[in-house]
Amino acid sequence: MKITAFEVRPDEKPYFEEFRRKGIDIRECPGRLTMEAIPELEPGSAVSILGQSICDENLFKALAEQKIFFLSTRTIGFNHLDLNAARKYGIHTANASYAPDGVADYTIMMILLCLRGYKQALWRMQVNDFSLDGLMGRELRDLTVGVIGTGRIGSQVIRDLSGFGSHILAYDPHPRPDAIAAEYVSLDRLYAESDIITLHTALTEENYHMINSDTISRMKDGVVLINCARGGLMDMKALIEGIESCRIGALGLDTVEDEEGIVHQDRKTDIFSDRDLAYLKQFKNVVYTQHMAFYTEQAVRSMVSCGIMSLLNMEAHRKDPHQLS
């Protein structure tokens, strides 16, 4: 089977080469999978993508017409795939998996950066300002942390946090009380009692903008919000209002909504037109990074491996544990 991998980054290339040395026919493309690219694909081949390729009904229909029925995304998240359309046109899809440690580590780092005023301290050091005014932090052991989503990453965050002595609350529609050292509570109670709230859930129609003006109003004054999951979980305008009103004490964001076309690209010489993001990230208590919580050597290797192996498993009609449709 011929495989075309789209959105291939330079750091992925060595791992694709490992598969080529094993005889797997893989073609690499740096660009996204688009309607224009589909006619050039060999009928009966397979494709692998990353998160910037938006696969809607029209794209899945075009793939089916080109006799391409296997697609993998080298990401854990799959909100860029219209799975109903994939099923409609008989296209099998699969997502990736990697160890939760990298994102969990990054989440803890984000929490600590927010609690210790990292951004202000860094700015001051650039101009030789060694003062302490306004930099007093808080200690995790005295705080209550709310974890929304207790899948593999959320559970690892809870295990990591347990070493700090924090009181940990958790919410998940499918709780696993015997598996983690946290107190499962309702979402309303988590909002009301948490000093820090961190999100670790997939983006769905049901939880889109779950962090909004209403839910922020139910949180503690000065709450710290962390998002290393999916940008669409948080309403950008509500975040701005929360920071301006001081309802939100700090934000640690590795992802924001509508980040397509921005993240993982060099835009420093462009006219940056996302006014909300430009405004939000300039606040002294907002730490924003370029959707890189996942980005470790181990995770990238695993993402490429899952992306290729799931396609090979599909072709061999073997059941793949990460198959979505």
Could you tell me if 275 and 190 lie in one domain? yes
Tokens (6 digits) for 38: 């589909």
Q: Are 275 and 307 members of one domain?
A: no
Residue type, 29: C
CA 89, 75, 235, 145 torsion: positive or negative? positive
Q: What is the DSSP string of 153-214?
A: HHHHHHHHHHTTT-EEEEE-SS--TTTSSSEE--HHHHHHH-SEEEE-----TTTTT-BSHH
Q: How does the average pLDDT of the chain come out, rounded?
A: 95
Is 322 a member of any domain?
no
Is residue 324 included in any domain, yes or no?
Answer: no
Are 176 and 232 in a shared domain? yes
In a domain, 323, yes or no: no
Pair 84, 127 in one domain? no
| 150-194 pLDDT per residue, tens | 999 999 999 999 999 999 999 999 998 887 889 999 999 999 999
Q: Give the pLDDT confidence score for residue 77 in this predicted structure.
A: 87
Confirm whether 252 is domain-assigned.
yes
Whether the predicted pLDDT of 316 surpasses 60: yes
For residue 312, give its domain range.
3-98+297-316
Cα angle 198, 208, 187; round to 5:
50
227 assigned to some structural domain: yes
Pairing of strands 70-73, 46-49: parallel
Q: Decide if 306 contacts 74 (C-beta within 8 A).
A: yes
Structure tokens of 98?
């990697």
* Percentage of the chain modeled with pLDDT above 70: 98
Same domain for 228 and 306, yes or no, is no
Q: What pLDDT is recorded for position 180?
A: 85
Query: Do both 131 and 245 map to the same domain?
Result: yes
Q: Which helix (H) or strand (E) holds 309?
A: helix 297-315
Mean local confidence (pLDDT), 303-316:
95
Per-residue pLDDT band for 17 (boundaries 50, 70, 90) equals very high
Does any domain span residue 321? no
Helices (H), 1-78: 13-21, 57-65
Looking at residue 54, its pLDDT comes to 95
Query: Taking 80 as the threshold, does the pLDDT of residue 319 lie above it?
Result: no
CA distance 300 to 75: 10
In a domain, 147, yes or no: yes
Q: Do 52 and 81 form a contact (C-beta atoms < 8 A)?
A: no
**What's the pLDDT band for 320 if we cut at 50, 70, 90?**
low
Query: Which has more pLDDT, 261 or 1?
Result: 1
Average pLDDT over residues 194-212: 96
Do 31 and 160 fall within a single domain?
no
Q: Are residues 138 and 185 in the same domain?
A: yes
- Please state the rounded mean pLDDT for residues 50-54: 93
What per-residue confidence (pLDDT) applies to 178? 80
Phi first, then psi, for residue 288 (nearest 5°) are: -125, 130
The pLDDT assigned to 261 comes to 80
263 and 242 within one domain: yes
- Determine which helix (DSSP H) or strand (DSSP E) holds 4, and give its type and residue range: strand 2-5
State how many domains the chain has.
2
70 touches 91 (CB < 8 A): yes
Catalytic positions:
230, 259, 291
> Domain of 306: which CATH number?
3.40.50.720
Same domain (yes/no): 175, 36: no
CA distance 322 to 146: 28
Q: Are residues 239 and 106 in the same domain?
A: yes
Asked if residue 212 is part of any domain, the answer here is: yes
Give the rounded percent of residues in the chain with a pLDDT score beyond 90: 89
- pLDDT over 80 at 106, yes or no: yes
**In a shared domain, residues 35 and 162:** no
Task: Please say if the pLDDT value at position 303 is more than 60.
Answer: yes
